[in-house]
């Protein structure tokens, strides 16, 4: 009897946590463990494997975005976007002039994708069906009644946005792997620090959150969650520095404070931007590929937005 009573209490507590965090926490934790093991395995095997993993995740993110935009009758040339993004990320790493490679690839990709997006072609029935299944009924009410298809100008705008959002920002994840001879440390910082910040914000917001940060955009975001993100991020930055930079971090003791503050603020801003995008499109999650986390985009949005700031900070401080 007592066992059943305690089991019921535990189940209610878990349901309460799931409600506060807005996700299935056991699934989220299990998925996070798998992702961490996968990323660390790639880093331990070879940096090239990590770069390939970034390319794979960006391809999955592009596929999710394609389906998401289809829910609002918007589209971009997926195959061309996948090819150009893959070439951009690989060229960023393997080229001798990494920043120049990014600039050239984006400069060439943009006009090609704009031209492809402006061409008239019908979306696939399979994609439309997938988009209709993911549409959030409550959010869809805020979306204007869909026409048979949006204008070509809308498609061009969405395509430009996608180029700047995925391959350009993702190249900033790759760039830190190419300078100052600390590729593993840089990879851990760029990928895991935003995740640590998200975790801090999630728990601080769930247990302490009382003051809404932006209720119209994301009702679950709170000021306490933002502060939790910053504090966890600073603590995480110090832990990573102590474990990866040997004695170098002692002379750069102030960098984790700046880094953690930037990641906490920019990561939260990234989550809010993603929430605005989902609300405008009329969907609840960016996808369902990662159990307990929604889609790949739901996991990488803060990483993508933080990447250019972290890359610049690591380069400027000589780390």
Half-sphere exposure of 109 (CA within 13 A, CB side): 30
What is residue 10's predicted lDDT score, i.e. its pLDDT? 53
Domain ranges of the chain: 2-316
| pTM of the full structure | 0.82
Phi-psi category of 22—alpha, beta or left, where left has phi over 0 and alpha has psi -120 to 50?
A: left
What is residue 222's predicted lDDT score, i.e. its pLDDT? 83
Q: Which residue has the tokens 């760029």?
A: 190
What is residue 157's predicted lDDT score, i.e. its pLDDT? 92
What is residue 122's predicted lDDT score, i.e. its pLDDT? 43
Q: Which residues make Cβ contacts (< 8 Å) with residue 95, sequence separation at least 6?
A: 101
What is residue 8's predicted lDDT score, i.e. its pLDDT? 63
SS3 96: coil
User: Can you read off the two tokens belonging to residue 194?
Assistant: 């935003």
Residues of the chain with pLDDT under 50: 1, 14, 21, 122-149, 292-293
């Amino acid at each position: 009897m007592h066992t059943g009573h305690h089991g019921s209490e535990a189940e209610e507590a878990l349901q309460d946590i799931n409600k506060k965090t807005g996700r299935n926490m056991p699934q989220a934790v299990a998925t996070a463990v798998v992702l961490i093991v996968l990323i660390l395995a790639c880093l331990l095997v070879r940096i090239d494997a990590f770069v390939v993993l970034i390319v794979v995740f960006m391809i999955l993110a592009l596929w999710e975005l394609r389906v998401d935009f289809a829910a609002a009758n918007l589209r971009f040339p997926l195959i061309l976007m996948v090819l150009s993004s893959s070439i951009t990320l690989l060229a960023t790493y393997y080229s001798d002039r990494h920043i120049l490679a990014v600039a050239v690839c984006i400069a060439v990709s943009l006009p090609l994708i704009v031209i492809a997006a402006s061409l008239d072609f019908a979306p696939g029935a399979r994609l439309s069906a997938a988009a209709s299944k993911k549409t959030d009924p409550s959010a869809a009410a805020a979306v204007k009644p869909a026409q048979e298809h949006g204008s070509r100008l809308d498609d061009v705008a969405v395509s430009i946005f996608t180029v700047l959002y995925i391959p350009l920002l993702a190249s900033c994840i790759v760039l830190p792997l190419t300078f100052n001879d600390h590729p593993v440390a840089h990879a851990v910082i760029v990928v895991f620090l935003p995740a640590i910040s998200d975790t801090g914000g999630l728990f601080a917001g769930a247990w302490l959150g009382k003051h809404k940060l932006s209720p119209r955009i994301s009702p679950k975001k709170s000021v306490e969650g933002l502060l939790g993100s910053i504090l966890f991020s600073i603590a995480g930055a110090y832990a990573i520095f102590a474990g990866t930079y040997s004695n170098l971090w002692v002379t750069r003791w102030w960098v984790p404070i700046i880094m953690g503050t930037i990641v906490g603020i920019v990561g939260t801003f990234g989550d809010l931007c993603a929430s605005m995008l989902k609300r405008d499109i009329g969907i609840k999650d960016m996808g369902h590929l990662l159990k307990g986390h929604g889609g790949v985009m739901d996991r990488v949005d803060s990483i993508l937005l933080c990447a250019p700031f972290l890359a610049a900070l690591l380069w400027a401080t000589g780390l």
